Amino acid sequence: MAQLKTIKIHNKEYVEVNQRIKYFRENYPEGSLITELVSNENGMCVFKATAIIEDKARSTGWAYEKEGSSNINKTSYIENCETSALGRCLGNLGIGIDGSVASAEEVQTAILQQEELETKTGQYLAQISECIGESDDAGAVELWREMKDKTISNGVWKSLTSQEKVYLKDALINTPV
């Protein structure tokens, strides 16, 4: 296989989806790439991509994206999901996987999502700690209930001290809804 252009992310080389598509088009001119929006409900979409060569499905790839989960997904989560499905499909076909099946875009999105999650978790943790420090039970409980994303609330919970956990549990029990 020809050497495909890569970009480096955290000292590891990744092939971008556009390079995988270009390789596919050059090497399988009669082939087809088919994408299907499997679902799009409540701001979450799933795409399936299929590579057809000689009238047979040779590879598939799936992707899931959540609207607003990253900067790109604030405006283009459906397009991003389709691109990710294509990248995985072509990776599963063996195109651009010297280092990883994941495309550069997937890795960048995952890094951004993790950073945004850590930022949100840190913000909530600071606010809850402030409420606890001020003995503002209602404020702490309100913030806790505001954290609808379980990943954030789990991250905050794990970061609280034992004393803060006891305080928050007591506040949740003793504060009227």
- Indicate whether 101 pLDDT > 60: no
pLDDT in tens, 57-93: 999 999 999 898 878 888 999 999 999 999 989 989 9
Distance (Å, whole) CA 168 – CA 143: 11
What is the pLDDT at residue 157? 74
The radius of gyration of the chain's CA atoms, rounded to the nearest angstrom, is 22
Mean pLDDT score of the chain: 81
Q: 45 falls in which pLDDT band (50, 70, 90)?
A: very high
What is the pLDDT at residue 108? 64
Which has the closest alpha carbon to 109: 38, 16, 34? 16
Average pLDDT (31-40) is 96
Domain extents in the chain: 6-102, 113-174
Q: Provide CATH code, domain 6-102.
A: 3.30.160
Measure Cα distances from 120 to 87, 114, 147, 172 in Å: 29, 10, 10, 21
Q: 159 falls in which pLDDT band (50, 70, 90)?
A: confident
**For the whole model, what pTM was predicted?**
0.58
